[in-house]
Structure 1
Amino acid sequence: MLNEGDWVLIRYGDRSYLRRLEKGGSLNVRRDTLRFSEVIGKPEGIRIGKFEVFRPALEDLILLGFRRKTQIIYPKDAFYIAFKLGIGRNSRVLEFGTGSGALCAVLSELAGEVHTYEVVEEFHRLAVSNMKRYGLGENVVFHLGDFGEAEVEEALFDCAFVDVRDPLPYLEKLHRVLRDSAPLGFLLPTANQVVELLKELKPLFGGVEVLEILHRHYKTLPERFRPEDTMIGHTAYLVFCRKVTAPDK
């Protein structure tokens, strides 16, 4: 049941809109109008004229609703990152930097607890605002500051993900705060950064992988089934590895 105050995903043809249901509210697209009074109290997934109204998924909240002042980690990357990190309901996850909170939202939905660090106060506040606006992140601890300067006990985290310009200064500390064999991931925008990271990973981490994810939609008309004219191609390089331990530990 759709209630007043709910966030909804409204589809009109190939267009998508995220709106909050308020009495007296409406959405106008081309020459058609959807009055929210027609939607409140109706079942989820209702079709009214050319409009379809759904309960939004996390992907919809991130892409259509999150305010951003940084480049977000796209869902095509974020959900694969969570898969590669092996996150479960009992996982304690480390992330830095937070940015606008897109990846943090995904990690939060899957993990037991997330600790996320951001050095830029403006981004920190934006991430907190994005999460609270949609009722997300109750299991997230937001830290304003540099992870490199934070006091963190050893072997505290089950996995970690790093999205900062230069991750090299953090490698030794990451090794200390991760549990044995814990997965670790990085997002890097340029090939040169990947090369520099690969040079430094081997002493502390193994099982290294580098990849990118391409995402292509297809037209949904049966008589014109073919790829869309545009696609989300390269957004960043993803690097994954695992903590290794000396045999004489």
Structure 2
Amino acid sequence: MKAPVVLKSGKNFYLVSEFSGELHTHKGIIRLEELKEKDFGDTIRTHLGVEFKILPFRASDFFRLFKKAPTPVMPKDIGMVIAHAGLQPDSLIFDAGTGSGVTAAYFAYFNKYGEVVTVEKRPEFAKVARENFRMAGLKNIHQIVGDAVSIADCFKKEFDLVFLDMKNDVEMVPKAHSMLRQAGFLAIYNPYIEQTRAVYEKMLDAGFKDVEAFEAIKVNLEFKRVGTRPFVNIFHTGYIVMGRKV
């Protein structure tokens, strides 16, 4: 078993990247050296006797366990983009607005024979994302610190997917059209309706076809003796606009 691994007890998750020293939790202290003799599915006990299950670190843990800088895009929204674009495992993807790196990490994980180029304007965010990529063992991400609008003109290769999660996304839309190969997709994430409409109209002006704007809502179910009902901790996350260069 190699690091990183996930330790789980109830609703508590901890990511362990080294098998040395101690991990202090509110359920007790774990001696990390003991993990060297363990396998996935085994348990390890704290000094208080509380058991933690040992699990492999997988893509499903990116959102939960990555270090956060700005608020990341939710997995449900990233999944909609991946499915809607029909992402192939050998794609070339441009991700503008790296943030904590959650979106780029999911793109890279499901694009294992391809490449992801991710651009972040703020160095402090890029540093957090870089550590997350290293921890996740993702080798197919190329990180650039700079302004995506300026950098866009420097690429000679054509991309299969361009994803934007950035403030000046309207300005980036025509450049994204030039960067995409024929039948490539542009996807734009926004938390506000006004900006969503602005990029929708700009995509039509830029020549994108099959442009759609939508919201993905995940509603959990709560099962109690008296009955079942839906509940959500976070109802709205953001809106997605997608179009295709045809």
TM-score by length of 1: 0.82
Number of aligned residue pairs: give it.
237
DSSP 3-state at the match of 1:158: strand
DSSP 3-state at the match of 1:193: helix
What does the per-residue CA deviation read over 1:192-234, in whole Å, with 9 as the maximum and x for residues that have no partner? 1112222222231121222222234456x89798568653321
Q: Residues of 1 paired with 2:119 and 2:25: CA distance? A: 40
Question: Does the 8 Å CA contact 2:41/2:55 hold for their aligned counterparts?
Answer: yes
1:209 matched to 2:212? The reply is yes
Which deviates more, 189-198 or 77-86? 77-86
- Structure 1 partner of 2:13: 16
Q: Residues of 2 paired with 1:121 and 1:28: CA distance? A: 31
- Structure 2 partner of 1:179: 181
Which deviates more, 111-120 or 208-217? 208-217
Q: Residues of 2 paired with 1:61 and 1:225: CA distance? A: 33
Q: Residues of 2 paired with 1:177 and 1:119: CA distance? A: 19
Question: Does the 8 Å CA contact 2:62/2:102 hold for their aligned counterparts?
Answer: no
Name the CA shift for 1:26/1:177 in 2 (closer, same or farther; >3 Å): closer
What does the per-residue CA deviation read over 1:126-176, in whole Å, with 9 as the maximum and x for residues that have no partner? 22222123322x112212222222233466111110111131111211111
Q: Residues of 1 paired with 2:116 and 2:174: CA distance? A: 21
Q: Residues of 2 paired with 1:185 and 1:90: CA distance? A: 18
Instruction: Mark the runs of 5 or more structure 1 residues left unpaired by the alignment.
Output: 245-249
What are the within-5 Å matches in structure 2 for residues 153-232 of structure 1? 153=155, 156-203=158-205, 204-218=207-221, 226=228, 230-232=232-234
Q: CA RMSD in A?
A: 2.6
Q: Residues of 2 paired with 1:89 and 1:40: CA distance? A: 33
- Structure 1 partner of 2:238: 236
Q: Residues of 2 paired with 1:168 and 1:152: CA distance? A: 19
DSSP 3-state at the match of 1:127: helix
List structure 1 segments (4+ residues) > 6 angstroms apart after TM superposition. 221-225
Which deviates more, 147-156 or 172-181? 147-156
- Structure 1 partner of 2:47: none
- Structure 2 partner of 1:82: 82
TM-score by length of 2: 0.83
Q: Residues of 2 paired with 1:28 and 1:173: CA distance? A: 48
Q: Residues of 2 paired with 1:139 and 1:222: CA distance? A: 45
- Structure 2 partner of 1:41: 37
What does the per-residue CA deviation read over 1:30-89, in whole Å, with 9 as the maximum and x for residues that have no partner? 4x665444443222111456421111212314322x222211112222232222222222
Name the CA shift for 1:224/1:21 in 2 (closer, same or farther; >3 Å): farther
Name the CA shift for 1:225/1:9 in 2 (closer, same or farther; >3 Å): farther
Letter of the structure 2 residue corresponding to residue 18 of structure 1: L
The share of aligned pairs that are identical, in percent, is 26
- Structure 2 partner of 1:247: none
Q: Residues of 1 paired with 2:29 and 2:187: CA distance? A: 45
Question: Does the 8 Å CA contact 1:186/1:240 hold for their aligned counterparts?
Answer: yes
Q: Residues of 2 paired with 1:199 and 1:56: CA distance? A: 41
Q: Residues of 1 paired with 2:227 and 2:21: CA distance? A: 39
Letter of the structure 2 residue corresponding to residue 206 of structure 1: K
- Structure 2 partner of 1:52: 53
Name the CA shift for 1:28/1:96 in 2 (closer, same or farther; >3 Å): closer
Instruction: Mark the runs of 5 or more structure 2 residues left unpaired by the alignment.
Output: 45-49
